[in-house]
């Protein structure tokens, strides 16, 4: 249960939300701040469930409505994932359009969740601000998730109830993926890639497995960087029948690669011998520079740059500095 995990891991956030719910003083806008922590997303869903249930307490998390909300199947709760891609004008216009209509659900309350709100342009942030100032009705609630509160518009921050998250704990997500059958390394990687527990994620997801394999192959080619264009053009690209499949795989590839480079930089140790061997390969090839290259490429992916051209640039940059 997320409620118990929140109470154990983030007692300040837990008490803040508990008091608001019990005293019927739920704010119309919340900002979940602090370092990246996947529990912020889970708590946002929990708060949305609690607002919709309207029982002056945390939601049960088990009824049909709670399950629909968590699966993004409840019409009056909208989740925008700013970790997966930038928050766009269309995302906000969709919220404005949906929330201007008569509620399709019985509670009459509507909640929108914007994860990683920092990943939005100034124009989009101003659209959000205007909506906060002029909501469609008094039963509209917003939950914003930010890992860098200091970079947000002060006018947005000032209109929110700030709920600080003080830890950076992925352990609860890792445990849940392990309980589903994933080994520790895959559970660890998935917790950092998906930012949440996805009960529908399949143990044999080919996009994830292919991405992980090509991350390993890319790392192995650091000893012979001239081979990277061959790896990408003759193996990686042809592995997919259409452009959308390639995009889905790359959306796993980039965060896996970045996570592994960060692990190499932090000199973390893992029991998985294959994973450790690839971390050692990264450590031999200026991991700081590699992180810069792949983070820059990932930033461009978030604004919809052409993925194959980015891999051209990655190959060129690695060959150039090697």
Q: How many residues does the chain have?
A: 322
What is the domain count for the chain? 2
Q: What percent of the chain has pLDDT over 70?
A: 98
Lowest mean pLDDT among 82-86, 278-282, 284-288: 82-86
List of E strands, the chain: 29-33, 77-81, 110-115, 140-145, 161-164
> What are the distances in angstroms from CA 180 to CA 23, 132, 177, 188, 205?
38, 39, 5, 13, 13
124 with 64, same domain: the answer is: yes
Average pLDDT of 8-24?
94
- Domain assignment present for residue 178? The answer is no
234 with 140, same domain: the answer is: no
Helix, strand, coil: what percent of the chain each, to 5? Answer: 60, 10, 30
- Domain assignment present for residue 233? The answer is yes
pLDDT of 37 reads: 86
Q: What 8-state DSSP symbol labels residue 120? A: B
pLDDT of 220 reads: 96
pLDDT at 33 over 90: yes
- Domain assignment present for residue 9? The answer is yes
153 with 226, same domain: the answer is: no
- Domain assignment present for residue 190? The answer is no
- Domain assignment present for residue 198? The answer is no
User: For residue 23, which phi and psi values (nearest 5 degrees)?
Assistant: -95, 10
Average pLDDT of 263-287?
93
225 with 159, same domain: the answer is: no
Burial of 52 (C-beta count, 10 Å sphere; 0-12/13-18/19+): buried
Lowest mean pLDDT among 2-6, 21-25, 196-200: 196-200
- Domain assignment present for residue 240? The answer is yes
pLDDT of 136 reads: 67
Show Cβ contacts of residue 172 under 8 Å, excluding neighbours closer than 6 positions. Answer: 5, 9, 39
Show Cβ contacts of residue 284 under 8 Å, excluding neighbours closer than 6 positions. Answer: 222, 223
Show Cβ contacts of residue 224 under 8 Å, excluding neighbours closer than 6 positions. Answer: none
pLDDT at 2 over 80: yes
148 with 250, same domain: the answer is: no
251 with 103, same domain: the answer is: no
Cα Rg of the chain (Å, integer): 21
Tens digits of residue pLDDT in 193-245: 887 777 778 888 899 999 999 999 999 999 999 999 999 989 998 888 888 89
- Domain assignment present for residue 182? The answer is no
39 with 154, same domain: the answer is: yes
pLDDT at 175 over 80: yes
12 with 72, same domain: the answer is: yes
CA distance 8 to 101: 39
CA distance 237 to 188: 26
pLDDT at 305 over 90: no
Binned at pLDDT 50, 70 and 90, residue 279 comes out as very high
Q: Which of 131, 164, 197 is the last residue of a domain?
A: 164
- Domain assignment present for residue 174? The answer is no
The answer to whether the pTM exceeds 0.75 is no
160 with 12, same domain: the answer is: yes
20 with 139, same domain: the answer is: yes
- What's 80's domain CATH number? 3.40.50.300
143 with 26, same domain: the answer is: yes
**Higher model confidence: residue 217 or residue 108?**
217
Token pair of 110 as six digits: 């509507």
Q: Which of 164, 195, 215 is the last residue of a domain?
A: 164
pLDDT at 314 over 70: yes
Average pLDDT of 238-261?
90
CA distance 294 to 311: 10
Binned at pLDDT 50, 70 and 90, residue 168 comes out as confident
160 with 44, same domain: the answer is: yes
Average pLDDT of 56-69?
95
What range defines the domain where residue 38 resides?
Answer: 2-164
């Amino acid at each position: 249960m997320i409620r118990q995990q929140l109470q154990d891991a983030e007692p300040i956030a837990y008490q803040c939300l508990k008091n608001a719910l019990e005293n019927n003083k739920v704010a119309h806008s919340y900002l979940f701040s602090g370092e990246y922590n996947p529990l912020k997303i889970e708590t946002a869903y929990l708060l949305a469930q609690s607002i919709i249930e309207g029982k002056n307490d945390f939601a049960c998390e088990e009824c049909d409505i709670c399950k629909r909300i968590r699966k993004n199947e409840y019409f009056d709760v909208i989740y925008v994932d700013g970790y997966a891609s930038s928050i766009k004008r269309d995302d906000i216009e969709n919220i404005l359009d949906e929330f201007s209509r008569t509620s399709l659900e019985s509670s009459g309350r509507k909640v929108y969740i914007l994860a990683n709100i920092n990943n939005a342009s100034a124009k989009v942030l101003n659209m959000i601000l205007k909506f906060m100032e002029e909501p469609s009705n008094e039963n509209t609630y917003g939950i914003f998730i930010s890992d860098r509160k200091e970079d947000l518009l002060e006018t947005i921050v000032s209109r929110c109830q700030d709920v600080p998250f003080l830890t950076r704990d992925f352990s609860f997500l890792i445990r849940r993926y392990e309980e589903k059958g994933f080994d520790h390394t895959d559970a660890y990687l998935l917790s950092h890639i998906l930012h949440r527990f996805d009960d529908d994620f399949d143990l044999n997801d080919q996009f994830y497995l292919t991405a992980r394999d090509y991350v390993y192959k890319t790392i192995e080619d650091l000893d012979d960087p001239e081979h990277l264009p061959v790896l990408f053009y003759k193996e990686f690209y042809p592995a997919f029948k259409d452009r959308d499949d390639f995009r889905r795989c790359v959306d796993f590839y980039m965060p896996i690669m970045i996570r592994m480079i960060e692990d190499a930089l932090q000199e973390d140790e893992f029991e998985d011998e294959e994973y450790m061997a690839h971390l050692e390969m990264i450590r031999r090839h200026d991991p700081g520079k590699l992180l810069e290259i792949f983070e820059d490429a990932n930033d461009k992916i978030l604004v919809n740059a052409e993925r194959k051209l980015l891999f051209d640039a990655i190959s060129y940059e690695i060959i150039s500095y090697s």
